[in-house]
Structure 1
């Protein structure tokens, strides 16, 4: 593994079936989702986003692979209890089928963990308890591969456009993507041993240094993230590969907006409102290739190239393109999120919540030194 011993993506996406009646399938997450402060704050939204699609994928026929997801976040996810996924069949066809997924969590937290978050497993009884309100919902469409009847098109690849910055460096040589992509977090994390920071599970995500490109112009601001799964993903499960891309697409997404606008140190409230992803390619082009790197590790590095096109009214847009290592434009993403600037230090909710979680975990003492 590249650092510490992170959970594999297969393990992270594990599901238990609660009800397998056709048209009324229910599944429960087995592993806790990531939280940058160690589990005391809100869960990483990419977990429920990707796993909702993985749950829906359990209900489709062979050869049906997700190509379109529209998700809405209505309540913060909690890391001390499982997600319960309720899948409804909206349409069935030879080439396309559609699913709706409602996600809830138990009203009461699960019993205290007896092990680390990487080893913890929710028991199936937890998913049968009284559930709260819907915290996430999505409509996802699946389709079969088809023979091209016209020549597809795409723009210049990220590898080509950013070749002067990317150079010939291996993906693993870039810094690990921060738990929170904000200046205050970077300063604090630099004073904290890596072994004490919560380990992001599932994917190895690296942040490319774009300092040479980024200026004070928000429309010109860019982030590049390189990522690949921890562990091997079976070629026979293309929907699992697609879910890895979905999971990566939400990592630190909205922090791009506050950083581009120049108030990364003064974020008040922030949270995803909606997130849409469209896959453009054949199955073989969204699969992670099992190529061995110079360091002896397997797996190609895919690239997420992100920007922000508009902000206002306490909201911001995060848009990105996902490219595989062969320069193929795999997917496009559009995310709208709540992004508010804090007018006073005591209103910097993102930072204060993280500090409180780290203090409760015994990692950060006192009020914290930023």
Structure 2
């Protein structure tokens, strides 16, 4: 085991001297706000109406954690080694916060932690190459233990299996492949979609503020719930209608995203962070053909796979291209591609999940 790996954390223990860790949350990313969010609406005569709602969450949870504001993913991916003679590769993830509206952990957080645990078990120079993940049970608030099995240590490739365990249950199994860099002249890739650059687009926060200024009648409550922004990850939809979902759309989406705070140079950290973000906006692509789909379906991830093709930085803009080729029988399937701004295909993704009608 590489005991000097930067993703290994010394301890997962509370520190009473830590400052309060406050976050605003983008719905679906499960990062909690602990302040009142102001929601403002313009009446038909142009006057501003205060429709403020309390979004206070359990800030006491963050008082116990050694976390800098705006850097939740860095905190999330730290691992505590629980090594002993019987189990040399067991790691404990940092405590998960569960938003009160969702009650269970965001799947991307589990993916990121499981991949990070696997990273802690391989030698330096081995890069996260691919993983195939199955969600078995819901993650709850608190720490999760990750037991890493060594399947193979090869000259170029290493293989691991990760079992995530919490409260006596296995909640996730992940097969992980690592690979050293190789120089190979033969290569090809698809062409990046031609679309607006992130500098030309509005953030989700600005788009929701824009919608809240309109007279939306019954849709107003839905947009109030969306007006919860995560300062850790910024999202900018290419087509704002894929965010609003007020009319049927083709099951495909383009979304720019990045971590807002600059990170270090560790390539495996960036790949684990991108893996965390890859669960955002993925399964919801399946229900774009249905008007107001977010209110009409229950969604839950079943499995998630990812392949890294090139080096990537989570703190640079990435274009997330997602599409769904099938939905039926209570499940939906979608695929995705992550592009750098200069058109390099950084990673490919696939996901299957529960898609059940509520009406």
Q: TM-score, normalised by structure 2?
A: 0.70
Establish whether residue 316 from structure 1 lines up as the match of residue 332 from structure 2.
yes
Superposed displacement of residue 204, structure 1:
2.5
Cα distance in 2 between the residues matched to 1:90 and 1:58: 15
Aligned length: 285
For the pair 1:136 / 2:166, whether they are aligned, the reply is no
Any conservation in 2 of the 1:45–1:250 contact (CA below 8 Å)? yes
Residue 270 of structure 1 and its aligned partner are, at CA, apart by: 1.9
Asked if 1:252 is matched to 2:252, the reply is no
> Which residue in 1 is equivalent to 2:66?
none
User: Per the alignment, in what secondary structure is the counterpart of residue 77 of structure 1?
Assistant: coil
The CA distance in 2 between the partners of 1:19 and 1:315, in whole Å, is 39
Offset at residue 81 of structure 1 (A)? 1.6
Among 109, 112, 119, the residue aligned to 1:50: 112
Cα gap change, 1:192 to 1:168, in 2 (>3 Å): closer
How far is 1:217 from its partner? 7.5
1:165-180 superposed matches below 5 A: 166-167=196-197, 169=199, 173-176=202-205
- In structure 1, what is the Cα distance between the partners aligned to 2:148 and 2:289? 38
- 1:260 CA displacement: 2.6
User: Taking CA–CA contacts closer than 8 Å with sequence separation of 6 or more, which of the two structures ends up with the larger relative contact order?
Assistant: 1
Counterpart CA distance in 1 for 2:269 and 2:348 is 18
* 2:145 paired residue number: 84
**Structure 2 residue runs without a partner (length 5+):** 1-22, 25-68, 209-215
Deviation at 1:85, TM superposition (A): 0.5
- Indicate which of 286, 306, 316 corresponds to 1:300: 316
Q: Distance in 1 between matches of 2:225 and 2:276?
A: 26
Q: State how far apart, in whole Å, the 2-side matches of 1:18 and 1:71 are.
A: 23
DSSP-derived class of the 2:234 partner: strand
Tell me if structure 2 keeps the 8 A contact 1:10–1:202: no
Give the 4+ runs in structure 1 shifted more than 6 A: 183-186, 214-218
Give the deviation of 1:22 after TM superposition.
Answer: 8.7
Structure 2 counterpart of 1:145:
181
Unaligned residue ranges in structure 1 (runs of 5+): 107-131, 289-298, 344-370
Whether 1:156 and 2:191 are equivalent positions in the alignment is yes
Q: Deviations over 1:308-367 (max 9, x none)?
A: 011111000121100112110111111000100112xxxxxxxxxxxxxxxxxxxxxxxx
Task: State the alpha-carbon separation in 1 of the partners of residues 288 and 154 from structure 2.
Answer: 44
Instruction: Tell me how large the CA RMSD over aligned residues is.
Output: 3.2
**TM-score, with structure 1 as normaliser:** 0.68
Q: Aligned equivalents of 1:174 and 1:155: distance in 2?
A: 27
1:252 shift after superposition: 3.0
Q: Distance in 2 between matches of 1:15 and 1:248?
A: 18
